[in-house]
């Protein structure tokens, strides 16, 4: 049984998986080292963690989930964008509500 080129293009090679693994490890070690080192301010530490988290998500999606913008996989990208939109609305709305509740509940 032979595999067509379309079925092999949806799966990664060993090289892409190893690259993804190494990138994931580096993006995990960086925030760990920043937190354990304690040399940076709290705001800078949070920014480093947030940036490496976003990069980690992108590495996982591209290298392991094989998400790309090809026309035949457009629905995957559209559903991902929709999910991100809902996530941002829910998390952002929740933080906004909690912030206003905190401000309104402050005594004196």
pLDDT tens over the chain, length 108 residues: 444 444 445 567 899 899 999 999 999 999 999 999 989 999 999 999 999 998 998 898 888 888 776 756 667 778 888 888 998 999 899 989 998 888 888 765
Cβ neighbour number for residue 95 with a 10 Å cutoff: 10
**pTM of the full predicted structure?**
0.65
Question: Which tokens is 64 given?
Answer: 């392991």
Look at residue 47 in the predicted model and tell me its pLDDT: 92
Domain boundaries, the chain: 1-66, 70-108
Q: How many angstroms separate the CA atoms of 52 and 25, rounded?
A: 11
């Amino acid at each position: 049984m032979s595999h067509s080129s379309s079925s092999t293009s949806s799966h990664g090679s060993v090289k892409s998986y190893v690259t993804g693994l190494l990138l994931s490890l580096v993006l995990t070690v960086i925030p760990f080292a920043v937190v354990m080192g304690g040399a940076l301010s709290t705001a800078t530490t949070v920014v480093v963690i947030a940036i490496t988290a976003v990069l980690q998500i992108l590495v996982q999606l591209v290298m392991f989930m094989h998400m790309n913008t090809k026309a035949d996989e457009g629905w995957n990208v559209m559903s991902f964008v929709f999910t991100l939109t809902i996530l941002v609305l829910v998390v952002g709305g929740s933080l906004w509500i909690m912030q206003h509740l905190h401000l309104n509940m402050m005594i004196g």
